[in-house]
């Protein structure tokens, strides 16, 4: 009997057309988009299905949009396999809110509202203080830490043993790119993002988000949810309120998240939502862990074919 975890992607996974097939194939998925349109006050479904890409990419649109597609993927999976009971949930950055929703910690409508606000606050912070992010492949965190310190930037994402993302000022990122290459990095790639996510430049966004999260109705998660900040499961609602704000300015410890779940006996992970980024990272962290993705009707059918016929644990 396999121990299953669900994974939810974060900003950057958005693509025009996402969610369309799920909404057309499953009424339960279509209803999520209809609800989202009502809560947000604009046609999120049309934005997901038809774009334009430049509007979908804006943080205040991308974050709730990816969440709805992720929630739809999870809803379609639950309808097809009602016996599937995940033993852990995790999300990358904004995807962590989808994990909290899947754990019945926060309602669908409230998750939409907090993600719209989170994205809006982050977009504003990016405009107020320009920054960037740099993906470095082939250097360890120990090798990158002194580079980040020398350039006065931060380690934003520990994505896999081979890939770490740095975040900070434009000047700092430029300096870090040169230093990483000199230190022997296989690749150092500047990311096409609005600003310096998961760095101190997001402090104004974190302060604004704190006021929203303070009043957000939250319940104890029904399923363990792994915190990006801790690299382990949340232990209380109070901790969720604190760490979901700190997450905006602190490192995403994705390697620790995956290793914590595997340490709890997880042997299979299912990425629910657009793209396959998290599935790829899991493969680089632990090759023994089975991984599936669900983002449209075809990938759902493929995942169902791969799942065994026994009751999931």
Mean pLDDT of the chain: 95
Q: Point out the catalytic residue in the list 59, 70, 93, 160.
A: 93
Of 98, 77, 7, which Cα lies nearest the Cα of 307?
A: 77
Q: Are 295 and 274 in contact (CB under 8 A)?
A: yes
Tell me: pLDDT of 311 over 80. no
Q: Are 268 and 291 in contact (CB under 8 A)?
A: yes
Average pLDDT over residues 108-112: 98
Cα(129)–Cα(98) distance, integer angstroms? 28
Tell me: pLDDT of 313 over 70. no
Tell me: pLDDT of 98 over 60. yes
Cα(85)–Cα(305) distance, integer angstroms? 17
Q: Point out the catalytic residue in the list 198, 199, 251, 292.
A: 198
Q: Annotated catalytic, 198?
A: yes
pLDDT confidence tier of residue 304, bands split at 50, 70 and 90: very high
pLDDT of the residue at 307? 85
DSSP string over the chain: ---EEEEE--TT---TTTTHHHHHH-HHHHHHHHHHHHHHTS-HHHHHHH--HHHHTSHHHHHHHHHHHHHHHHHHHHHH-TT---SEEEESTTHHHHHHHHTTSS-HHHHHHHHHHHHHHHHHHHHHS-EEEEEEES--HHHHHHHHHHTT-EEEEE-SSSEEEEEEEHHHHHHHHHHHHHTT-SEEEE---SS-TTSGGGHHHHHHHHHHHHT------SS-EEETTTTEE---HHHHHHHHHHTTTS-B-HHHHHHHHHHTT--EEEEESSSSHHHHHHHHH-TTSEEEEESSHHHHHHHHHHS-SSPP-
Tell me: pLDDT of 1 over 60. no
Average pLDDT over residues 172-183: 97
pLDDT of the residue at 310? 42
* pLDDT, tens digit (0-9, with 9 covering 90-100), for 222-232: 999 999 999 99
* pLDDT, tens digit (0-9, with 9 covering 90-100), for 179-205: 999 999 999 999 988 899 999 999 999
User: What does pTM read for this prediction?
Assistant: 0.95
* pLDDT, tens digit (0-9, with 9 covering 90-100), for 38-83: 999 999 999 999 999 999 999 999 999 999 999 999 999 999 999 9
pLDDT confidence tier of residue 2, bands split at 50, 70 and 90: low
Tell me: pLDDT of 309 over 60. no
pLDDT confidence tier of residue 308, bands split at 50, 70 and 90: low
pLDDT of the residue at 301? 93
pLDDT of the residue at 243? 98
pLDDT of the residue at 312? 43
Q: Which domains does the chain have, with CATH numbers?
A: 4-127+200-306 (3.40.366.10), 130-190 (3.30.70.250)
């Amino acid at each position: 009997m396999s121990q299953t975890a669900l994974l939810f992607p974060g900003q950057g996974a958005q693509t025009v057309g996402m969610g369309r097939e799920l909404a057309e194939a499953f009424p339960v998925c279509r209803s999520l988009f209809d609800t989202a349109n009502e809560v947000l006050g604009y046609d999120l479904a049309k934005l997901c299905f038809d774009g334009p890409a430049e509007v979908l990419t804006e943080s205040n649109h991308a974050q709730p949009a990816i969440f709805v597609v992720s929630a739809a993927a999870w809803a379609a999976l639950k309808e097809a396999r009602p016996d599937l009971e995940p033993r852990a949930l995790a999300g990358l950055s904004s995807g962590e809110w989808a994990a909290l929703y899947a754990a019945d910690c926060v309602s669908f409508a409230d998750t939409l509202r907090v993600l719209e606000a989170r994205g809006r606050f982050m977009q504003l912070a990016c405009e107020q203080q320009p920054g960037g992010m740099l993906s470095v492949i082939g250097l360890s965190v120990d090798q990158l830490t002194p580079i980040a310190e020398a350039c006065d930037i931060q380690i934003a994402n520990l994505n896999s043993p081979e890939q770490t993302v740095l975040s900070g000022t434009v000047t700092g990122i430029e300096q870090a790119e040169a230093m990483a290459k000199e230190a022997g990095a296989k690749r150092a790639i500047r990311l096409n993002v609005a600003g310096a996510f998961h760095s101190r430049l997001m402090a104004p966004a974190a302060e604004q988000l704190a006021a929203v999260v303070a009043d957000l109705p939250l319940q104890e998660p029904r399923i363990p949810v792994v915190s990006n900040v801790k690299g382990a499961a949340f232990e209380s609602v109070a901790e969720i309120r604190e760490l979901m704000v700190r997450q905006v300015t602190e490192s995403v410890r994705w390697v620790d998240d995956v290793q914590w779940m595997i340490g709890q006996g997880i042997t299979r992970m299912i990425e629910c939502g657009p793209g396959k980024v998290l599935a790829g990272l899991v493969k680089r962290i632990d090759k023994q862990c089975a991984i599936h993705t669900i983002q449209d009707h075809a990938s759902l059918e493929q995942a169902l074919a791969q799942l065994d016929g026994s009751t999931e644990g």
